Amino acid sequence: MAEIRLRNTNERITGEENVKAFLESQEVLYEHWNPDVMPAHLKEQFILTDENKQEILTAYEHEIKDLASRRGYQTWDIVALSEATPNLDAILKKFEDVHTHTEDEVRAIVAGRGIFIIKGTPEVGYFDVELEAGDVISVPEHKPHFFTLMDNRQIVAVRLFIETEGWIAHSFADPEFIKT
Ligand SMILES: [Fe+2]
């Protein structure tokens, strides 16, 4: 289940209802998919063939189509990152700049873990959303954020798009950003 860390105070928010209520107050969508839908032989696999990816999309077809029909997503795919990913450090470095998009950024974590760092309302400031398998998040369009991996550096996620062009990152240089 997702957990929140407020960067200004180091306060943590835990428990599904608290996390959901906090994210709702920050206009961030949070839902949960049953992680057991993930095919058992892929739960700890972070190097995926096209067949593996299709198997995951088929397993979660009901959840994906439900979310897509409610929120207008037209296409979806699978992203997998791990130490085996060529140039992982360079990819993460590129991710770790605060930026915005013209459409929302949706990720459904199906294996591994990851963190969204998001700029909240002025009284909240930047906060981390630590995600694990089953967590589904949507960062609204134009909301400054970035994504990175956690210590184990492995994740598989479903990405959903209205148009893939909407996901182009626009850098958001922010003196208020707190690095740690
Ligand atoms: Fe982004």
Question: How does pLDDT run across 25-53, given as a tens digit for each residue?
Answer: 999 999 999 999 999 999 999 999 999 99
Give the predicted TM-score (pTM) of the model: 0.94
Domain boundaries, the chain: 3-165
Q: Which residues are annotated as a binding site for Fe(2+)?
A: 99, 101, 105, 145
Q: Which residues are annotated as a binding site?
A: 99, 101, 105, 145
CA-CA distance, 130 to 148, in Å (whole number)? 10
Closest by CA position to 39, among listed 17, 24, 50, 54: 54
Q: Ligand 1 mean position to 103 CA, how many Å?
A: 10
Q: Ligand 1 mean position to 96 CA, how many Å?
A: 9
Phi (first) and psi of residue 132, to 5 degrees: -135, 180
Are 148 and 83 contacting, i.e. CB atoms less than 8 angstroms apart?
Answer: no
∠ at Cα 157 (136, 177), nearest 5°? 70
Sign of torsion, CA 162 99 61 15?
A: negative
Residue range 121-156, pLDDT digits in tens: 999 999 999 999 999 999 999 999 999 999 899 999
Are 60 and 54 contacting, i.e. CB atoms less than 8 angstroms apart?
Answer: no
Whether residue 119 is predicted with pLDDT greater than 90 in this model: the reply is: yes
Q: Which residues are annotated as a binding site for Ni(2+)?
A: 99, 101, 105, 145
Q: Does domain 3-165 fall into CATH 2.60.120.10? A: yes
